[in-house]
Amino acid sequence: MTLPAPVSRRSFVVASVGAALALGVSSQAQAQAQAQAHQRGWAPFGRYGSPLARLDERTLYVHPGGLGDHSTVQAAVNAASGSGYTLVIAPGTYRETVSVSVARTEMTWVGASGEARDVVVVYDNAAGTPKPGGGTYGTTGSATTLVQADGFTARDLTFANDWLRAEHPGISGTQAVAIKVQGDRSAFVGCRFLGHQDTLYADSMALGTFARQYYRDCYVEGDVDFVFGRATAVYENCHFRTLIRDDLTGAPYGFVFAPSTAGANPRGYLVTGGRISSEAPDAYYKLARPWVPSSDTTARPMLTVRGTRMSAGIDAVEPYTNMSSGFPWQDQRFAEYRNTGPGAVVSVPENRPQLTSSEARSHTREAYLGDWTPWKGC
């Protein structure tokens, strides 16, 4: 949601391998093109079969040029009218908004190439973007992808929102969500999440619902509150990158995490074994600030960061700040354990609450995710 180098920020769309695969194949030529592709030994769906060699009846194929069952991700989601479908998505740039309803449980999306950069789902709505029928989209409505179903899994995909402040100086609602995830047992492996403000919205369907989410080997970039929400979420071996901002002249540029954990939820965000890098000058980013929404003033945001390397872009002296003076970060549930790097140096102990070894045993993926063990099957 920042305006760093607008051209380079969108280069991931242009550079996508899939752009070259958007062949515009007509429906009449689709079967012939598929057969020719197999004869040449080239398959846009890699090892995952094809419409001519379907893995099973609940596997659907998406290709931007017509070599699959559907040319858009949303069309494939709509066709998956039940539980347990897999979408195999060919390399390409899918400029669309996508919504996975609560009824489409246990759905899996797979990037066919095995490389997240090749498969990009992207759109450019912001919270303040005018809607065709009047009003604006709001934060949730800005999401490129919305997942409300339980049991959703994604592998090797990019979820992006490429709305840029510089192109819309008259819009004040600059939140622009790449993906909002609300379902329980939602897992993302080897995925990228690209945006600026509010990139990754890890949330739940309702205040009393404690949705569990698991992110492994993922990359997330942004500037303001770019990982936020009230889910119970584990980020394992993930890379978070803070962006440069040309619209600001001083610190802070933004905040990596903004959890809004419900007060009754004993588990919020856990970041483990990751790293935080930065394009920005030293100390221009805060690690986190607590989000206590007006809709839930009893929230007690919870974030534990452990075993994570922080670059100098994180303000080591004052890594936390308030979103609202009425809800100071010191009253929330923020803690760290055995982090490294210049951004993790404990120079003012009262500004960096640390877990003891005994306390750290309660802050593991197993403790946060309970009887759900996604790391064994991903």
For residue 252, whether the previous peptide bond is cis, meaning omega lies within 30 degrees of 0, is yes
Matching residue, tokens 């509010």: 198
What's the one-letter identity of residue 279? E
Matching residue, tokens 């483990």: 272
Buried b (16+ CB within 10 A) or exposed e, 342-359: ebbbeeeeeebbebeeee
Distance CA 81, CA 64 (A): 21
SS3 367: helix
Cα 300 from chain centroid?
A: 22
Distance CA 356, CA 371 (A): 25
Matching residue, tokens 């588990």: 267
Q: Which of 118, 184, 223, 225 is catalytic?
A: 225
Q: Which of 198, 203, 223, 315 is catalytic?
A: 198
Backbone angles phi, psi at 107, to 5 degrees: -90, 145
- Written as six digits, the tokens of 17 are 């391998």
SS (H, E, C) 247-283: CCCCCCCEEEEEECCCCCCCCCEEEECCEEEECCCCC
Say if residues 224 and 197 touch (Cβ distance below 8 Å). Answer: yes
Is 225 an annotated catalytic residue? yes
Other Cβ atoms closer than 10 A to 206: 11
Distance CA 167, CA 321 (A): 29
Cα 206 from chain centroid?
A: 19
Distance CA 271, CA 126 (A): 27
Burial class (CB within 10 angstroms; exposed 0-12, middle 13-18, buried 19+) of 364:
middle
Active-site residue numbers?
198, 225
